[in-house]
Structure 1
Amino acid sequence: MRYWLLKASRLFCSLLTLPLFLAQVFGLRSAYKRVFPLLAYHITFSYNDKVNRMKKELFRNVCGFANSDGSLRLLEIGCGSGANFQFYPYGCTVLCADPNPHFETYLKRSMDANKHLTYEAFLVASAEDMNELDDECVDVVVCTLVLCSVRDVKMVLREVRRVLKTGGAFFFMEHVVSKPSTWTFFLQHTLEPLWFYIGDGCTITRATWKDLETAGFSQLHLQHIEAPVTSVIRPHIMGYSIK
């Protein structure tokens, strides 16, 4: 019974998104690419307040991957408006990459507010193809709330491993699908079609930890947590992998 209820609820939600689907087919959603960075910028403040302790815990040992001279080159993929800058260690060099060029205005605001960092460049690039970057060119790669919206998680993780130096680390924090027995799982699968359009491609039913487990890193430190946020994205994973 629950299976058919889930199917019916998802179908109903999918029908509600039909105008959004047609708008995308005919190229009418391009304006949303300009609006979404503004929405994301303001949502960032609320999200960071709620997960502040979690992010401090996540990034506390980033400086441990610095070079012998103390330098540390960090790449953030899907950097958005720079929500993580405040958590990075003093003096590190930050390279930003995001496929949406309209984030740059809000990114600069975060740069101005975090003068303890050195900013190298903003690359307009998808995480699946960062061909502007050389092999093994960064010490740390970071992504938070990014793997939910990329086209191919496995391809992104291959790119992460390519640009990371041997011994470097990939730090992540992502919302993931809940356990099948929960109502959160039901809501995630029901609302996913609508959430996808509102969240500019965000998928809320990914078991991202499985991709991380098979990505070929030499070490994986991962924990499942419940973030103090909206119930449909409450299940999270966080941690880091070492190349």
Structure 2
Amino acid sequence: MTFFMRFCTLIVNVLCLPLHLIEAVGLYKIYKRVFPICLYRISVTYNKKMHDKKKELFRSIPEFCKPGGQLTILEIGCGTGTNFEFYPPGCKVICTDPNPHFQKYLKKGMTENDHLTYDRFVVASGEDMGSVEDESVDVVVCTLVLCSVNNIPQTLREAHRILRPGGAFFFLEHVVADPATWAYFFQHVIQPVWYYFGDGCEVTRETWKHLEAAGFSDLKMRHIEAPLVFIIKPHIIGYAVK
């Protein structure tokens, strides 16, 4: 299947030549203005289907609050703020995203979730959050982000840096399927198109390997099959303690 998969992927890449050209000349940046609108609508559906999984995951967040203190959460790639409803009341939230055009939708999410305190919105990639101090947050949240960052290990190093000792990195990410499945085949074939549709999203990443090598003191991670389209059905979910 490997040769056939590569052949099919090559054909799709050829068909994507106009998209490759659009990115090469810088016109793809226009889509970054449109992408927040698309993601806002997609996120509503994703949250409905993944509600129980998210609720189960974020239930553990209060465990990482220092006694007598206010729990501080930093979310990498906050997007439209679809995780806010799952955060414990009274938390202080720092929002980061490399796309400044999300801010309009983020404000809507903040208004709808007034049980939280919002510190600031930082336009920054996951690989470079230099404006956030070392060991300054209790929890870092990252959902459906590691599929599109340019450098997963560097993003995890940044998360580790800004977490206080004993803090936790919470994640929920779609990953590559088992190589023995047709989902794996179609993930690789469709990837050239998916990259542009998802603003840099890659469905063929073995993200769990990077988490295992990131140097956290404890990693609690599960592989699950999400109730979603087969291309993004395989997920990993859990948290890692600094």
Q: What's the TM-score once normalised by structure 1's chain length?
A: 0.99
Q: Secondary structure at the match of 1:29?
A: helix
Q: Which residue of 2 aligns with 1:29?
A: 28
For residues 14 and 66 of structure 2, the distance between their equivalents in structure 1, rounded to whole angstroms, comes to: 53
Equivalent residue, structure 2, for 1:61:
60
Q: State which drifts further: 126-135 or 61-70.
A: 61-70
How many Å separate the matches in 2 of 1:16 and 1:225?
Answer: 33
Equivalent position SS for 2:12: helix
List alignment gaps of at least 5 residues for structure 1: none
Q: What does 1:60-99 correspond to in 2, within 5 Å?
A: 60-99=59-98
How far apart in 2 are the matches of 1:29 and 1:223?
A: 35
Q: 2: CA distance between counterparts of 1:218 and 1:189?
A: 33
Tell me the percent identity: 55
Q: Secondary structure at the match of 1:41?
A: helix
3-state secondary structure, aligned to 2:27: coil
SS of the residue aligned with 1:130?
coil
Partner of 2:142: 143
String of CA shifts for 1:20-68, please: whole Å, max 9, x gaps. 1100111111110100001001101000000000000110010111111
- Deviating beyond 6 angstroms after TM superposition, the runs of 4 or more aligned structure 1 residues are none
CA-CA distance at 1:70 after TM superposition: 3.9
Looking at structure 2, the residues matched to 59 and 238 of structure 1 have their Cα atoms a distance apart, in angstroms, of 11
Deviates further, 66-75 or 98-107: 66-75
Shift of 1:151: 0.2
Aligned to 1:200: 199
Show structure 2 runs of 5+ residues with no match: none
**Paired AA for residue 110 in structure 2:** M
2:180 partner SS: coil
Quote how far apart the aligned CAs of 1:12 are. Answer: 1.1
Comparing 156-165 and 5-14, the one that deviates more? 5-14
| 2:214 alignment partner in structure 1 | 215
Aligned match of 1:235: 234
Give the partner amino acid of 1:102.
H
Q: Secondary structure at the match of 2:50?
A: helix
Residue type of the alignment partner of 2:39 = A
| Structure 2 SS opposite 1:76 | strand
Rounded to whole Å, the distance in 1 between the matches of 2:210 and 2:25 is 33
CA RMSD after TM alignment: 0.6
Q: Which amino acid aligns with 2:22?
A: A
Q: Distance in 2 between matches of 1:97 and 1:40?
A: 16
**SS class of match (2:140):** strand
Distance 1:228 1:204 in 2: 16
Partner of 2:41 in structure 1? 42
- Normalised by the size of structure 2, how large is the TM-score? 0.99
Deviations 1:212-233 (A, max 9, x none): 0010000000000000011000
Q: Secondary structure at the match of 2:147?
A: coil
- Other structure's SS at 1:169 match: strand
Task: Report the equivalent of 2:186.
Answer: 187
Q: CA deviation at 1:15?
A: 1.2
Q: Counterpart amino acid of 2:239?
A: Y
2:115 and 2:133 map into 1 onto residues whose CA distance is 26
Equivalent residue pairs, number: 242
Whichever residue aligns with residue 132 of structure 2, its letter is L
Q: Deviations over 1:98-145 (max 9, x none)?
A: 000000000000000000000000000011010001100000000000
